[in-house]
Amino acid sequence: MLREALRIGSRRCYSYKSVRRPNLGASSAPKVEPAKEQPGSSPAVENGHGSLAKQLRAKILATGPIPVAEYMREVLTNPQAGYYMNRDVFGREGDFITSPEISQIFGELVGIWLVSEWRKMGSPSPFQVVELGPGRGTLARDVLKVITKFKAGAEFSMHMVEVSPFLSKSQAQRFCYTHNTVPEDSQLPHYQVGTTATGTKAFWHRRLEDVPQGFSLVLAHEFFDALPVHKLQQVDGKWQEVLIDVASEGEQLDFRYVLSRSQTPVSSVFRPMPGETRACLEYSLETERQVGILAERIERDGGIALIMDYGHFGEKTDTFRAFKQHQLHNPLLEPGSADLTADVDFKLVRHTAETRSNVHCCGPVEQGLFLQRMQGEARLEQLLAHALPENQDIIRSGYQMLTDQDQMGSRFKFLAMFPGVLASHLDKYPVVGFS
Ligand code: SAH
């Protein structure tokens, strides 16, 4: 059966977010000026781009320029006006399209991968399926179908980590039969519960820390690229932070970049990874924090984590960008009206996981390779054999979009995390998709 997403995926005018920023050179950095004592006023904001721009402006005028990370966090997840908080941002009517929405093959193969690695670990039961930032809940739904089919009597529950009240409802509608909001004063670690058509319990949490302890299969697709990044530049041998100030009078943008005049909390604690050669980079303290928690859980409670996102291995310098209606958009214009994102630094993810806990990481490998190694073509042929002739092009082009080198095949990467005690077992029985 076809889904609307496949139709969207086949149209090349809808973009996925890994589309590169134009004019990115090896050492490119945003245009920055030294911070001024008195920021100017911005008519653009005064004319009104919504409450978020006003709030940010008031804050900067009161306390001075803010880190890019703080700007990104406010723009994406401010409880009242944050980009993700109150609407569906995906697909044709939204701003971008993601792999699980493009083809069901994506979620099915991820589900099969999880089941096969879980079986290699002795099929522990009960277990938890955890997803960080599930969007519309499409990946969770496709993975749930596969796990329900192949769990062979094991017990499991679903745990969604989601900040957006609006999206948590969309997710529940996508894969639950019934769902309810939990009263605010309940003191429970979840804010919404649901039950799937086959009786599996689903829980929604605001933070990974709130997910109960236990053996977990954790998925994060296009989650880490939404976590705030700090922008740092080396000036005279010292790391300094790029901040966001209000724009000067007459400027078209609402805000502008400035270089901090003195050390900021992050620039003073930042320690580059061994072998760092970049003079400007993006550093996600929040990614480091969440990966640290994830790795600790995998080591302590057992489980597997699969991180899927667009990213690099510690070589890119300036990837912070915005998307609006499938087009690149200036991140400093009309905050809250467009998605903000930055490429995931997989070197930082791997380094953090392996240095903070005893975990064994595989990858990153390219999405195209992973899906091919997971027999994506065979699944494609199967789907084509059962599809109506008028739907076949759409199914084929969806899979091509996921795997082609010039589309999502090479820019999106997969990184897996296992308990460190399994390292030699995994050498003997290699992890499918990664070798
Ligand atoms: N995984 C989905 C959606 C990706 S968009 C897909 O690939 O289609 C990012 C998702 O992460 C959204 O659901 C957003 O609401 C959620 N999100 C963003 N920041 C978050 C945070 N700090 N904590 C929890 N969820 C977050």
* pLDDT tops 70 at residue 106: yes
> Does pLDDT of 38 surpass 90?
no
Chain segment 117-139, per-residue pLDDT in tens: 999 999 999 999 999 999 999 99
The bridge status of strand 412-419 relative to strand 303-312 is antiparallel
Contact criterion met (CB below 8 Å) for 318 and 21: yes
Mean pLDDT value across residues 229-235: 96
Interatomic CA distance for residues 99 and 105, integer angstroms: 9
Residue 16: pLDDT over 60: yes
47 CA distance to ligand 1 middle (Å): 31
Q: What distance in angstroms lies between residue 161's CA and the mean position of ligand 1's atoms?
A: 8
Atom number of ligand 1 nearest to Cα 77: 19
Tell me which amino acid residue 335 is: P
Calculate mean pLDDT across residues 214-219: 98
Checking if the pLDDT of 22 tops 60, the result is no
If you measure from the C-alpha of residue 131 to the centroid of ligand 1, how many angstroms do you get, rounded to a whole number?
9
Nearest atom in ligand 1 to the alpha carbon of residue 131 is: 1
From ligand 1's centre to the CA of 112, what distance in Å?
Answer: 23
Which pLDDT band holds residue 248 (cuts at 50, 70, 90)?
Answer: confident
The answer, yes or no, to whether residue 23 has pLDDT greater than 80, is: no
The CA distance from 247 to 259, in Å, is 14
Ligand 1 pocket by Cβ (under 6 Å)? 76-77, 84, 98, 100-101, 133-135, 139, 161-164, 167, 221-223, 226
Structure confidence at residue 12 (pLDDT): 37
Q: Whose CA is nearest to atom 16 of ligand 1?
A: 133
Q: Which atom of ligand 1 is nearest to the CA of 221?
A: 1
Per-residue pLDDT tens over the stretch 385-423:
999 999 999 999 999 999 999 999 999 999 999 999 999
Nearest to 111 by CA among 134, 141, 154, 152: 141
Which of 223, 225, 414 for a ligand 1 pocket mutation test, highest count of atoms within 8 Å of Cβ?
A: 223
| Contact indicator for 314, 348 with CB cutoff of 8 Å | yes
352 within 8 A of 295, measured Cβ to Cβ:
yes
- Tens of pLDDT, residues 337-377: 999 999 999 999 999 999 999 999 999 999 999 999 999 99
Res. 315: pLDDT tops 60: yes
pLDDT at 257 over 90: yes
Q: What percent of the chain has pLDDT over 90?
A: 82
- What whole-number distance in Å separates Cα of residue 7 and Cα of residue 395? 8
Question: Quick one: pLDDT at residue 26?
Answer: 35
What tokens does 47 get?
């004319």
Question: What are the DSSP E strand ranges found in 44-144?
Answer: 66-67, 127-132
Query: What average pLDDT does range 234-240 have in this prediction?
Result: 92
Specify the pLDDT at position 35.
Answer: 61
Which pLDDT band holds residue 19 (cuts at 50, 70, 90)? Answer: low
Distance 133 CA to ligand 1 centre (A): 3
| Amino acid present at 144 | L
The pTM score is 0.91
Q: Whose CA is nearest to atom 6 of ligand 1?
A: 135
- pLDDT bin (cut points 50, 70, 90) of residue 92 is confident
Nearest atom, ligand 1, residue 286 CA = 22
Query: Which is the closest atom of ligand 1 to the Cα of 85?
Result: 15
What local confidence, expressed as pLDDT, does residue 251 receive? 82
The CA 93 to ligand 1 mean position distance, Å, reads 18
Q: Any bridge partners for residue 365, and if so which?
A: 414
CA separation for the pair 243, 247 (Å, rounded): 12
**How far, in Å, is the centroid of ligand 1 from the Cα of 160?**
10
Does residue 10 register a pLDDT over 90? no
| 68 pLDDT higher than 70 | yes
How many A from CA of 86 to the centre of ligand 1? Answer: 13
Q: What is the per-residue pLDDT for 249?
A: 82
Residue 375 structure tokens: 């027999």
Alpha helices in 262-307 (DSSP H): 265-269, 285-301
Pairwise CA distance, residues 397 & 6, whole Å: 9
* Dist CA 311 CA 322 (whole Å): 15
